[in-house]
Amino acid sequence: MNKKVAVIGAGNVGASVAQYMAETNLADVVMIDIIEGFPQGKALDLTQAGPIRNYNCMITGSNDYADIKDADMVIMTAGLPRKPGMSREDLLAANAGIVKTAGENIKKYAPNSFVIVVSNPLDIMTYHMWKTTGFPKNRVCGQAGVLDSTRFRAFVAMECGVAMREVQAMVLGGHGDTMVPVPRYTTVAGIPISELIDAKRIEEISERTRFGGGEIVKLLKKGSAFYAPAAATVEMARSILCDEKRVVPCSCQLDGEYGIKDIYIGVPAILGANGVEKIFDLKLSDKEQADLKASAEKYKGVLKEIGY
């Protein structure tokens, strides 16, 4: 029997997640959305691509949360997208309500599932999902650093003129303007980028990474990024569903690591059959540590706005 993954939200991110999940034959997918006919139509369209794209997973759509029953994993993508000039935090109140409704239904219908949160502001919504479901912290995480480090990898590869898969990168902190790219842990085929790119250019690439999502929002004018966020999410899902034990930066609940407690924030972690199996507490420079703590403190302040 195939694994079952529920995707909450059938918009651009959710539909792309369903597509990538199907194309890797990871699991059967059910997409949930409040708009009648919308998830059903997208599911049918994706199903009809199966014979050409060589996947055999079942993809269905529904407007009823009951259809996530017994899902092995739930991927939360629903929420309002950013518009030009908006920060992820501007979405706070509206998306908090959406996440709360989803979390209550996940707890009711898929109580043993793993949850990956994509909705913005991501680290805040991941914490909110964790609180709403009451799940153990290893079963709730957020897609943050995977996307941010992927953007960093792409920019470094473009700068060096190398294959993107040759670049490995590390981005810590919140999924927003306070994220902390860590060039010391960023390499091209094992070579530190400091040996390939000068310091000023590295800082420019780091800055572009911090505002990578905003750059796309500004270009699109309506909506926000969805291809890369969906790809990053499926990377996390595959590591958990297939017990790959990939080490990826993602939004995890900290309990003293990096001197930070009771907050979800991007850190490197092993993702496997037990969800978040281990968090790596890296040795950071004084500036990196200060930047990470500043990112955490910002999000602790934002959490107060939704009652935590």
Domains of the chain: 4-142 (3.40.50.720), 145-306 (3.90.110.10)
CB 237 within 8 A of CB 21: yes
Query: From edge to edge, which strands make up the β-sheet containing 167-168?
Result: 167-168, 187-188, 191-192
| 8 Å CB contact between 120 and 91 | yes
Q: Is residue 298's pLDDT more than 90?
A: no
This prediction has a pTM of 0.94
DSSP string, 118-129: -SSSHHHHHHHH
- Which pLDDT does position 86 carry in this prediction? 65
Predicted confidence at residue 246, as pLDDT, reads 96
Q: Is 175 a catalytic residue?
A: yes
CB 76 within 8 A of CB 9: yes
The catalytic position among 175, 210, 238, 298 is 175
Give the tens place of pLDDT for each residue, 240-290: 999 999 999 999 999 999 999 999 999 999 999 999 999 999 989 999 899
Pairing of strands 114-117, 73-76: parallel
